[in-house]
Every structure is written in C-alpha cells, then in structure tokens.
Amino acid sequence: MDGYSISQTSARTGFPPSTLRFYEQSGLVSPDRTPAGYRSYDDHHLELLAFIGRAKGFGLSLEEIAEVSSLLDEDRCAPVQSRLRDLVDGKILTAQDRITELIAFTAELRQVSGSLARHTPEGPCDDDCGCTSGQEPTTVAGVVLNDKAADEASIACTLAPHQMDDRLAEWQATVGAALGPEPLGDGVRLRFAAGIDVAALAVLARSEQECCRFFTFVLTIDATGVALDITGPPDAQSVIQALAGLEV
C-alpha cells in the first residue's frame, strides 16, 4: 500500500489516531483512501501535521490553524508568515493582559494571607480572624491598597490602566535579566551582571517611583556587579514582591 497508514502516521507525528480522526472530521487534514477504505497519508499530510503541531504550540485555535493552513497551498511563505505573526502578536497581548491580572491577584492574595495571620481566637471564628469576615482587598489600577479605609489610598499607583501594560513589560524584562531576587527585610534586592544598562535601570526605577510614591529604590554599583533594592512600607510588600517576580 502506498502512503502511510493511520498508525504509521501516528508514530511519525506523535498525534494519537483519535486526534488524527478528529482533525479529519474538522477538515484540517483530509487523508486519501485506499480501495479497501483505509486512510492513507502522504508526505504532504505529514508536513501539514507538523505545521499543526507547531501552531498548537503557539496557542492558536483550530479555526486559526485552519485559516493559516489554507495559505500553505499557495506555496508562498510570505502570506503564511505574515498571518502567523499577526496571530502570535495577538497571543502576546492576551498573555500580557493575563500576567497583569495575575500580578494584581497575587498581591490581593498576599494581603488576605497577611490578614489571616494577625489574629487567632481561642474559640470559634470571630469578626477579626479574617476567616468569615473582613475587608475585601481594594485595588487602584490593579495595585492593592493598604488594608485601611480605601480613601487613605497610601499604597496606590497613579498610572492609567493602559499604561500599566507597558510598565509591566519593562519590569518583566528587567527581572528576567536579574541574576536572582533576594528578599530584604522591607523589600527585595535584584542583582545584575556588570554589563547591565545602569542608566536604563535608573530611569525605570525613577519612573516607577514617580507613579508609586511608596517605593524606595537604591542602586548600588560595586565589584560584584549592580544591585537594585526595592523597598517600601509593610503594606507595600505584596506589591514589591509581585513587581520583582517572586511567587507570581
């Protein structure tokens, strides 16, 4: 029999037979049929399946994969590459939004965790133990306020929501270049190799302090490299650790 059977195709591509049947039902991959009615895949099908596997790794939906797959028939890379780039860029924006939400949510959970550790009654839960009652976390532009009244708003960020994504992306790139965050008594220390752009690091820290006045940044340059200390009041610790990428 010419071509590859479904079991041979499964072994070559890593897709189980059930998935190959699903792709056929979805119209993504249409194998040929032998006179006896068995599925038969050729090298073109294997290439298409390899593309599908790669596209799934990008987070593309079946509808998006089907759209881009149709461009492969033109035998021109440019349309395929252009559409893939647009879709991947969209996935980046979606992931960025999700990261922003997760950082804000992590900071809220830290605040709740702190409130649960403040008071443990001898008997049943009461109004102050934090188990059954207590003030809900309050956020301004995604940044958790202190657990006093919201109108005090001492731990707040003045950035508009649309500006936070860009600032967050800058901090993620900065944290990614760090050799490792080190907890301090009132914050976090980020260490960098000597080749880090110190001027850009200083500008970022200054910009952050201007919109979040509760932060204190100290930049140290010595024989061991570069260190950036991010410190603040007790109510700001969850925000500082989230900013530094700890347990996010």
Residue 153: what pLDDT? 38
Beta bridge partners of 219: 228
* Residue that the structure tokens 């919109």 belong to: 211
- Contact criterion met (CB below 8 Å) for 213 and 153: no
- Contact criterion met (CB below 8 Å) for 225 and 178: no
- Contact criterion met (CB below 8 Å) for 97 and 108: no
43, with CB counted inside 10 A (0-12, 13-18, 19+), is exposed
CATH of domain 6-75: 1.10.1660.10
CA 141 centroid distance within chain: 18
Residue 32: what pLDDT? 94
Kindly provide the b/e burial profile for residues 228-243, where b requires at least 16 CB atoms within 10 angstroms of the residue's own CB: bbbbbeebbbbbbbbb
Q: Outline where DSSP puts E strands in the chain.
A: 32-33, 39-40, 139-140, 143-144, 180-184, 187-192, 216-222, 225-231
Low-confidence stretches of the chain (pLDDT < 70) are 1, 100-104, 107-108, 133-163, 165, 246-248
Measured over the CA atoms of residue 109, residue 115, residue 120 and residue 121, the dihedral's sign is: negative
Q: What is the pTM of this model?
A: 0.48
Q: What is d(CA 227, CA 207) in angstroms, rounded to the nearest whole number? A: 18
Residue 161: what pLDDT? 61
Residue 133: what pLDDT? 65
Q: What residue segments make up the domains of the chain, in order of their start? A: 6-75, 105-243
Q: What angle do CA 195, 231, 166 make, to 5 degrees?
A: 60
Q: What angle do CA 221, 179, 97 make, to 5 degrees?
A: 110
Q: What is d(CA 76, CA 157) in angstroms, rounded to the nearest whole number? A: 48
- Contact criterion met (CB below 8 Å) for 227 and 191: yes
Residue 152: what pLDDT? 37
| The pairing of beta strand 187-192 with beta strand 225-231 | antiparallel
Residue 146: what pLDDT? 39
* Helix, strand or coil, per DSSP, at residue 228: strand
Residue 149: what pLDDT? 35
